[in-house]
Amino acid sequence: MEKVLLKNIDNPDSATIKAYEAAGGYQSLKKALDLEPKKIIEEVKSSGLRGRGGAGFPTGMKWDFASRDPKFPKYLLCNADEGEPGTFKDRPILEKNPHLLIEGMIISAYALQAERGYIYLRGEYPHARDVLEKAIAEAYERGYLGENILGKGFRFDLSVHQGAGAYICGEETALIESIEGRRGQPRIKPPFPVNVGAWGMPTVVNNVETLANIPYIVEIGGEAYAKIGSSDCPGPKLYSISCCVEKPGVYELPMGTSLREIIYEHAGGIKGGRELKAVIPGGISTPVLTPDKIDTPMDFVSLPKIGSMLGSGAIMVFDDTVCLVRVCWRAMRFFEHESCGKCTPCREGTGWMRNILERIENGFGREGDIELLQDVALSISGKTFCPLGDGAANVVLSFIRNFPDEFEYHIKNKKCSAGEE
């Protein structure tokens, strides 16, 4: 497959506007500004593009909702918070192909008739901030941003808003609170941001990778785009793969490529030729899978059928030396730290789950701890404003469901079985 999202990133100058334009960049913007905004929304609808931030919501439909709302001004927010552990797929776009994102945002803003955009960038990516700010300045200089873009009478202003180390701000309503200068605590939905978002106005929040697909959709048309990859959720997809593989990294492949192909063909197989024990397909919040499931296509439709989710497409591979109780405990320490504290089940439950996992891992597990963990997890699932708590519960429930022996062994023998030959 020809690369769309990571095109040219091997060129050392790929982040400059010169290199981007030389490779055909900003041609889609020129084409888009000659189209009716509605026509672009139609193309995105027919492309079948689904949001790459985790939830997989149809992008064209989201835009349509915002576009139909009569209130102005409208806002376009790019979600570059990339906080889901295991995820590093937006990073190459932000650091090496920033103009693709910027072009995607200008076209999207035109389609939505939004005059103001922000890129909500996680604080942990200081290099990306420098790259983006330089790229935005270049785009202003060229007349792609600001007043009267390319003489077509459309105005769009864009800037970077830097986060400050809060995973929850990746959740779209918390992100909006954070841009408004508040603590990043999610809002209850409805109303949805497409109607009542930033500063109470219609707001579209899209992930970096989602927006980076837009120039290509405008270039080849929605129908042609819909033929790439899985038919229910087409397009190119960035998969980030890490932990126990020979060649961890970000791979751009057609949506729906199987886990087996990604692990063994692209990422070079399990490190040191060891045995595969477990794999998390879509970032730490998505349920873990056993090795017999790796022929599943990595997409929004196939993974739910086997009890997991595509999430951010962040694959974490664990071999037989890794202690899964420890992985579970570390994940829970993360959720406890990142719970925003608004909803009691999540705030209290993540701490208790971390506590119980810690004693199991440290050899102080008690009989009944597994049931207790499940009970706490089920008291969080579905009982919170936002899905952070569900993610935490998923980890515990799926690890126990798929690897019960490992938990039982820890409790009974007060030690770990991983790595024992």
Partner 1 sequence: MALVDEIREIGRKYPDRRGALLPSLYLAQKEYGWLSQEAYETVSEALNLPPATVKGVATFYAMYRKKPMGRHLIQLCTNVACMVMGAERLVDLLKERYGLEPGGTTEDGRFSLVIMECIGACDRAPAMLVDTDFHSDLNETNIFEILEKYK
Ligand X SMILES: Cc1cc2nc3c(=O)[nH]c(=O)nc-3n(C[C@H](O)[C@H](O)[C@H](O)COP(=O)(O)O)c2cc1C
Q: Which stretch binds ligand X (CB under 6 A): 150-158, 170-178, 240-248, 326-334?
A: 170-178
**Closest CB 418 distance from ligand X, rounded Å:** 29
387 binds, among partner 1, ligand X, none (CB under 5 to 8 A by kind): ligand X
In eight-state DSSP terms, residue 287 is P
Q: Which stretch binds partner 1 (CB under 8 A): 148-156, 285-293, 299-307, 323-331?
A: 323-331
The residue (of 53 and 313) whose beta carbon lies closer to ligand X is 53
Q: Is 43 in the site for ligand X (CB under 6 A)?
A: no
Amino acid at 110: Y
Q: Is 55 in the site for ligand X (CB under 6 A)?
A: yes
Instruction: Pick the closest to residue 51 from 227, 284, 209, 228 (CA basis).
Output: 209
Q: Is 385 in the site for partner 1 (CB under 8 A)?
A: no
171 binds, among partner 1, ligand X, none (CB under 5 to 8 A by kind): ligand X
Q: How far is CA 114 from CA 37, 72, 395, in A?
A: 11, 8, 38
The residue (of 31 and 266) whose beta carbon lies closer to partner 1 is 266
Q: Is 334 in the site for partner 1 (CB under 8 A)?
A: yes
Asked whether 276 and 294 are in contact (CB, 8 A), the reply is yes
**Three-state DSSP state, 237:** strand
- Measured in degrees and rounded to the nearest 5, phi and psi for residue 134 equal -65, -45
Instruction: Pick the closest to residue 346 from 307, 383, 293, 320 (CA basis).
Output: 383
Asked whether 21 and 103 are in contact (CB, 8 A), the reply is no
> Applying CB under 8 A, which of residues 3, 68, 183, 414 lies at the interface with partner 1?
183
Q: Token digits for 47?
A: 């492309």
Q: Which stretch binds ligand X (CB under 6 A): 45-53, 213-221, 238-246, 258-266?
A: 45-53
Q: How far is CA 146 from CA 136, 143, 150, 158, 335, in A?
A: 10, 7, 10, 8, 40
Q: Is 51 in the site for ligand X (CB under 6 A)?
A: yes
Q: Is 180 in the site for partner 1 (CB under 8 A)?
A: yes
Q: How far is CA 104 from CA 4, 19, 100, 160, 385, in A?
A: 12, 17, 6, 15, 31
**Three-state DSSP state, 352:** helix
The residue (of 101 and 233) whose beta carbon lies closer to partner 1 is 101
Q: Compute the CA torsion angle 386, 242, 53, 13 (nearest 10 deg).
A: 140
**Closest CB 58 distance from partner 1, rounded Å:** 26
In eight-state DSSP terms, residue 262 is I
165 binds, among ligand X, partner 1, none (CB under 5 to 8 A by kind): partner 1
Asked whether 248 and 359 are in contact (CB, 8 A), the reply is no
Binding mask 58-87 for ligand X (x = CB under 6 A): ---------------------x-xxxx---
Binding mask 26-65 for partner 1 (x = CB under 8 A): ----------------------------------------
Q: Is 1 in the site for partner 1 (CB under 8 A)?
A: no
Q: Which stretch binds partner 1 (CB under 8 A): 37-45, 62-70, 125-133, 371-379?
A: 125-133
The residue (of 125 and 318) whose beta carbon lies closer to ligand X is 125
**CB atoms < 10 A from the CB of 36, how many?**
9
Instruction: Pick the closest to residue 25 from 122, 96, 97, 119 (CA basis).
Output: 97
What is the bridge-based pairing of β-strands 236-243 and 75-80?
unpaired
The residue (of 106 and 323) whose beta carbon lies closer to ligand X is 106
Q: Is 419 in the site for partner 1 (CB under 8 A)?
A: no
184 binds, among ligand X, partner 1, none (CB under 5 to 8 A by kind): partner 1
Q: Is 52 in the site for ligand X (CB under 6 A)?
A: yes
Instruction: Pick the closest to residue 51 from 297, 311, 252 (CA basis).
Output: 311
Asked whether 400 and 420 are in contact (CB, 8 A), the reply is no
**Closest CB 84 distance from ligand X, rounded Å:** 6
Task: Give dist(CA 373, CA 44) in Å, integer.
Answer: 43
Binding mask 367-386 for ligand X (x = CB under 6 A): -------------------x
Which residues sit at the interface with partner 1, rule CB under 8 A?
Answer: 73, 82-88, 91, 116, 122-127, 157, 159, 161-167, 178-184, 199, 240-244, 248-250, 284, 314, 316, 318, 322, 326-327, 330-331, 334, 337-338, 340
Which residues sit at the interface with ligand X, rule CB under 6 A?
Answer: 51-55, 57, 79, 81-84, 168, 170-172, 205-207, 210, 386-388
